[in-house]
Structure 1
Amino acid sequence: MSKDEKPSSQAAIAAQQDDEMDDWDKRIFSTGCAVENTKLTDCYYEKKDWRLCKAEMERFRQCWKVQGNEKRTDMKNA
């Protein structure tokens, strides 16, 4: 596509949707640990083995604890 051409409406809609946060992203950002989550996910993607991402997992766990997210995920007796 040349710089004078405009993207089709479908392409424009798809690009706009890619820029919007979905529910999953909103939940991750609300934890306060989005950066640590991204680093952990990237580590796994690169190494394909969670055991090789122990440092990233520990940083995520510490962030989770500092942010008080343990209260969010406590199970309640039904």
Structure 2
Amino acid sequence: MSNDKSKTTAAAAASQQDDEPDDWDKRIFSTGCADENAKLTDCYYEKKDWRLCKAEMEKFRACWKAQGNDVRTAMKDA
């Protein structure tokens, strides 16, 4: 029985770790555009084609510029 308890404890610990933001999440949140990024990522996940996510990309791009991230990352419009 102690083996089952250790599995439950390990699963709970893993679940708790998943709730903590990792370095990637922290970087996305620091841009101020986490919601726009999530919507863009969800769109791509659903449609499997970036060309079908132009509206989401434009919203993300507008947020990115409004937050000053283009200056911060030395990004240039193509």
| TM-score, structure 1 as length reference | 0.85
Alpha-carbon distance, 1:71 to partner? 1.4
1:17 is aligned to 17
Alpha-carbon distance, 1:8 to partner? 1.5
Identity %: 79
2:71 is aligned to 71
Task: Provide the aligned C-alpha RMSD in A.
Answer: 1.4
Unaligned runs of 5+ in 1: 1-5
Unaligned runs of 5+ in 2: none
Write the distance in 1 (CA, Å) between the matches of 2:8 and 2:15. Answer: 11
Could you list the structure 1 runs, at least 4 aligned residues long, displaced by more than 6 angstroms after superposition.
Answer: none
Q: Looking at secondary structure, tell me which structure has more helix per residue.
A: 2
